[in-house]
Amino acid sequence: MDFELDEDQLELQRVVRDVVERECPPALVRAVVAGDDDGADLWKTLVQLDWPSLTVPADAGGMGLSAIELVVTLEELGRVADPTPFLGTTSQYVPVVRAGAGDGDVRQQLLAEVCAGGTGAVAFAGGSDAVRAHRDPAGRWWLDGTARHVLDGDRADRIAVVADVVADVVADVVADVDGELDAGTVILVVASSDVTATRTPTFDAALHVADVAFDGVGVGRIEVDDDHAFHGPGIDRAVARARDEAVTGLAAVTVGACQRILDLVVAHVKERHQFGVPIGSFQAVQHMAVDVHVAIERARALVHFAALALAEDDDRSSLAASMAKAAAGDAQRIAVRHGIQLFGGLGFTWENDLQLFVRRAKAGELLLGSTAEHRARIARSVLASGPVR
């Protein structure tokens, strides 16, 4: 075990921090929230630096780096409450497309789009929040249902859908079409113009969340070319891994937002004087700030562990991703609560930048499974199979 970022990773961290602090100041986030800017220039800058293609394999034109470099980058973007589709594209769409077991040429082409600045979103819509898929005898795919709370669902160029294959339809067509096809999961990639996406109001207005209907009025069932469908053996594991990467990426952003809250709070309590002394000299204040710091360190360690497990294709990656998300959830809860409290009235204003990062930190808790859901998942996994070291 060597659990510290290497020199190249630390250098990447420094470069990303430097660039996004300069290119994504609070003023930009405020302009996006106010509708005066769409973050397109920032996105162009990120594309020029090739960062959206960080984990796109080199043979598809990407940087070919691992989930570790991804979380390092995402934490820095969380620190500035990044308003671009970076999180959704890099931690959700790219892993899902990379996971695709379908036609290699199509996959390479989809990934090449990302390298050129294309954006993507993922409707993780299997299971209870199901979008259903079936394939007709002519080999065309059809989708039904609505995926809710899709990050960047309203603005991404492409949407990857993780859908349940409808079993009874499969039974009808399986003999005619494809002996391998079974009920299960399929990844379908569609152009955003083929779906009806409705952006939903979000307290973090720099974040885009949308409901994406695949059977909306006037559209009906949409068709997908079979070349854009990924299915077959290993798809469940591939989807699970992609989801783990998405969960880990969101945890990294949350940790970054929490770190920014703590940075602002620490600067504030050093400056703010009451009773003739900086309030940061009071132990009641210090201990609250320390508890935020410890919660962030705890969460960051687990985010790095999850990324490392993904990078090394380790069996613990799924457990690790849930631990990262749960710990990031713990961190945001205490960072938001203590962060607002320690700023006092001065923090409870629209003008104070604290609110930007409070929103981003809390948004992280509400997506891709709450702390409670991930804790229960972790507990069940350990109680079922024994402790994992």
Partner 1 sequence: MRLAFDEATEAFRRELGAWLDENAPDPATTTDRSRSSSDIPDWARAWQRKMFDAGWLVPGNPPELGGRNATLIEQFVHREELGRRRVYPSFNPQGLGIVVPSILAYGTEEQERRWAVPILRAEITAALGMSEPDAGSDLAALRTRAVLDGDRFVVNGQKVWTSGAHHADVILTFVRTDPDVPKHKGISVLLVPTDSPGLTRRPFGSMVSPDERDFNEVFFDDVEVPAENLVGELHGGWRVATGSLGHERAMLWLGFAERLDDLVAHGAAALASQGLIDDPVVLDRFGDLVVDAHALRLLGYRTLAKARRGIEATEQSILKLLGSEAVQDATLYILEALGPDGFDPTARTAPHEPLNWDGFTTSWFERYLRSFPGTIAGGTSQIQRNIIAERVLGLPRS
Judged by the rule CB under 8 A, the positions of this chain that interact with partner 1 are 1-6, 9, 68, 266, 269-270, 277-278, 280-283, 285-287, 289-291, 293-294, 297-299, 301-302, 304-305, 308-309, 311-312, 314, 320, 323, 326-327, 330, 372, 374-380, 382-383, 386-387, 389
Smallest distance, partner 1 to C-beta of residue 68, A: 6
Residue 179 backbone phi and psi in degrees, to 5: -60, -25
Closer CB to partner 1, residue 293 or residue 359?
A: 293
Smallest distance, partner 1 to C-beta of residue 33, A: 29
Smallest distance, partner 1 to C-beta of residue 10, A: 10
Closer CB to partner 1, residue 4 or residue 59?
A: 4
Handedness of CA 197, 198, 202, 208 (dihedral sign): positive
Rounded to whole angstroms, how far apart are CA atoms 351 and 369? 31
Smallest distance, partner 1 to C-beta of residue 227, A: 37
Cβ-based neighbours of 283, under 8 Å, separated by 6 or more: none
Q: What is the phi-psi region of residue 272: left when phi exceeds 0, alpha when psi lies from -120 to 50, beta otherwise?
A: beta
Residue 338 backbone phi and psi in degrees, to 5: -70, -35
Smallest distance, partner 1 to C-beta of residue 339, A: 13
Residue 212: beta bridge partners?
A: 147, 197
Closer CB to partner 1, residue 290 or residue 346?
A: 290
Rounded to whole angstroms, how far apart are CA atoms 97 and 267? 42
Residue 223: beta bridge partners?
A: 142
Smallest distance, partner 1 to C-beta of residue 258, A: 14
Q: Are 29 and 89 in contact (CB under 8 A)?
A: no
Residue 219 backbone phi and psi in degrees, to 5: -105, -40
Smallest distance, partner 1 to C-beta of residue 349, A: 23
Rounded to whole angstroms, how far apart are CA atoms 251 and 327? 8
Query: What number of other Cβ atoms are within 10 A of residue 315's Cβ?
Result: 10
Rounded to whole angstroms, how far apart are CA atoms 383 and 379? 6
- Assign 3-class secondary structure to 168-198: HHHHHHHHHHCCCCCCCEEEEEEEHHHCEEE
Closer CB to partner 1, residue 89 or residue 322?
A: 322
Closer CB to partner 1, residue 156 or residue 354?
A: 354
Please state whether beta strands 158-165 and 132-135 pair in parallel, antiparallel, or not at all (unpaired). Answer: parallel
Smallest distance, partner 1 to C-beta of residue 127, A: 19
Closer CB to partner 1, residue 2 or residue 105?
A: 2
Smallest distance, partner 1 to C-beta of residue 304, A: 7
